[in-house]
Amino acid sequence: MAIPRAAKTLRRTRIQEEKEEQILEAALDVFSVSGFRGSTIDQIAEVAGMSKPNLLYYFRTKEAMHRALIDRVLFNWLEPLRAFDAEGNPESEIRSYIRRKLEMARDFPRESRLFANEMLQGAPHVLDMLKGPLKELVDEKAAVIRTWAKGGKIARCDPYHLIFSIWSTTQHYADFDVQVRAVLGEEHSGDGRFEDAARFLEQLFVNGLLQDHSDA
Amino acid sequence: MAIPRAAKTLRRTRIQEEKEEQILEAALDVFSVSGFRGSTIDQIAEVAGMSKPNLLYYFRTKEAMHRALIDRVLFNWLEPLRAFDAEGNPESEIRSYIRRKLEMARDFPRESRLFANEMLQGAPHVLDMLKGPLKELVDEKAAVIRTWAKGGKIARCDPYHLIFSIWSTTQHYADFDVQVRAVLGEEHSGDGRFEDAARFLEQLFVNGLLQDHSDA
DNA sequence: TGTAATGTTTACCAATCGGTCAAATTATCC
DNA sequence: GGATAATTTGACCGATTGGTAAACATTACA
């Protein structure tokens, strides 16, 4: 007889690791496109290549699957911001933050869309994380940016909106990918658009922030 | 007996106008949060305060409701870009475009989210519009921006990515509203954040683009 | 190799889904 | 006011939903 599922996490078998991986991979495919409510367990089961009850053997409910997926994705998603370094110089820190975020949009678009879907729905599953750990991390980095501004290393500006603008411009290339490609046309739908975007965004933020025009 | 629905558009009664308005208003509420697949006719009926068969009297299918809603929303959504004027001077045009887009994010967040949901799902209902009318409009405005750059009025930059970055930064305040509020904290969740955002974004784009640092 | 734990599947359930239908109700217009 | 068209509703349909039960198959391990 199967062990009660509460005990399953005590010791994990090889098969558990593999199957849970397989399921979360499929779940990412489905949830990132259709959101939580719009996705069905049957869809995920089909993508994962296993039967629905088999999925439910590893994750008791659709919610549990979604939560496991979000937990796994969120940590990596914040890595670039964590790497944002107070000791570095502003220009290279901002440049490399933009570059890292753009790389993530290019290499992990599903993760970005999963998160975007969650936000659009009002963050029902991650609101506490936004108000807690995320806010703390952003507060910390905003303080760094403010220090830079006070020291005259960058223009005076609202550090929160600076961070928001880097998030939005970079994630746009994952979340609105279909629109970007449609507008750029077939011929510019290779990965070149990410390099163009990086060039533009670095220019925008570096010129826009590194020199203080406000009292020129 | 009721007129076949194909003929309904021939002459519209007072009640038709009112009810269709009421339904689309409710549909906007629901679709903008849950996306097409995640929304149900019952939800919309409840919000609209009418029975499900009554909804289906005015819109034959869920798809028809969604299409009618998108058609109505899209035209207004592109208005600010259409107003972008080649004859004006670059600084004031960019400033007012940012301001208008931010106002729309503030005043019509549901419309923004409806659109964002559609993009996340791969634009199944509006792909032709993106590749057609939208692309043409953007091409036209991009040409204007390129003229400005060639004339030395703004820095040389990719006009498409400039437009993308204005879209993404402004719509962020509608689509990711819950995240913005969580990070800013309760005390900054009044409408003041839109003014702060406007100040920051105008600074960013004006300083970032209006002076050419690339050959300084 | 035997056996107990683990993993998988078939068949199924109640609830909800998008949508239909006919009957009942209301508005319109002569 | 009565006929006719427009609107609204309750009852219902088959398909799909999230999830369960139990039989069956496989694995790990002594």
Q: What is the pLDDT of residues B71-111, one digit of tens each?
A: 999 999 999 999 988 788 999 999 999 999 999 999 999 99
For residue B130, what are the contacts with CB-CB under 8 A and spacing of at least 6? A178, A179, A182, A183, B123
Q: What is the pLDDT of residues A142-158, one digit of tens each?
A: 999 999 999 999 999 99
Measured distance CA(A15)–CA(B176) in Å, rounded: 38
Mean pLDDT of A121-139: 96
Please name the fold of domain A78-210.
Tetracycline Repressor; domain 2 (1.10.357)
| H-only helix segments in chain A | 14-38, 41-48, 52-58, 62-77, 79-83, 90-107, 109-120, 127-129, 135-150, 159-175, 177-184, 192-210
The CATH class of the A5-73 domain is mainly alpha
Residue of chain B whose alpha carbon sits nearest to that of A198 = B161
Q: Which of A155, A184, A200 lies closest to B207 in CB terms?
A: A155
pLDDT at B211 over 70: no
CA dist A190 → A106, A184, B134 (Å): 11, 10, 20
Q: How confident is the model at residue A5, as a pLDDT?
A: 44
Q: What is the pLDDT of residues A158-181, one digit of tens each?
A: 999 999 999 999 999 999 999 999
In chain B, residues under CATH classification 1.10.10.60 are: 11-71
Q: Nearest residue to nucleotide C19 when comparing alpha carbons to its C1'?
A: B61
Query: Mean pLDDT over all residues of chain A?
Result: 91
Mean pLDDT of B182-198: 94
Mean pLDDT of A91-119: 97
Q: How confident is the model at residue A1, as a pLDDT?
A: 39
How far apart are the CA of A125 and the nearest CA of chain B, in angstroms?
A: 12
Interface contact flag, A201 B165, Cβ < 8 Å: yes
State CA A216 to chain mean position distance.
Answer: 38
In chain B, residues under CATH classification 1.10.357.10 are: 78-210
pLDDT at B212 over 90: no
Mean pLDDT of B14-42: 95
Q: Provide the 3-class DSSP secondary structure of residue B172.
A: helix
Percentage of residues in chain B with pLDDT exceeding 70?
A: 91
A189 Cβ under 8 Å from any chain B Cβ: no
Evaluate whether A101 touches A170 at the Cβ level (below 8 Å).
Answer: yes
State CA A61 to chain mean position distance.
Answer: 24
Q: How confident is the model at residue A11, as a pLDDT?
A: 54
Measured distance CA(B161)–CA(A102) in Å, rounded: 13
- Probe site for chain B from A138, A168, A206, A209 (most B CB atoms < 10 A): A168
In chain A, residues under CATH classification 1.10.10.60 are: 5-73
Q: How confident is the model at residue A20, as a pLDDT?
A: 96
Q: How confident is the model at residue B11, as a pLDDT?
A: 52
A40 CB less than 7 Å from any atom of strand C: no
Q: How confident is the model at residue A189, as a pLDDT?
A: 83
* Band (B17; pLDDT cuts 50, 70, 90): confident
Closest CA to B162 of B120, B87, B101: B101
The DSSP line for A76-130 is HHTHHHHH--SSS-HHHHHHHHHHHHHHHHHH-HHHHHHHHHHHHTT-TTTHHHI
Q: Within 7 A of a protein CB, which nucleotides of strand D?
A: 5-11, 16-22, 27-28
User: Among all chains, which residue has been given the structure tokens 């939560």?
Assistant: A67
pLDDT at B37 over 70: yes
Interface contact flag, B164 A197, Cβ < 8 Å: yes
A112 Cβ under 8 Å from any chain B Cβ: no
**Chain B contacts of A35, Cβ < 8 Å?**
34-35, 37-38, 117, 120
A195 Cβ under 8 Å from any chain B Cβ: no
Q: How confident is the model at residue B190, as a pLDDT?
A: 87
Architecture of domain B11-71: Orthogonal Bundle (1.10)
Q: How confident is the model at residue B4, as a pLDDT?
A: 40
Measured distance CA(A183)–CA(B134) in Å, rounded: 7
Interface contact flag, A123 B165, Cβ < 8 Å: no
Tell me the CA–C1' distance in angstroms for A64 and D27.
26
Global pTM reads: 0.92
How far apart are the CA of B24 and the nearest CA of chain A, in angstroms?
A: 19
Q: Which of A122, A131, A169 lies closest to B165 in CB terms?
A: A169
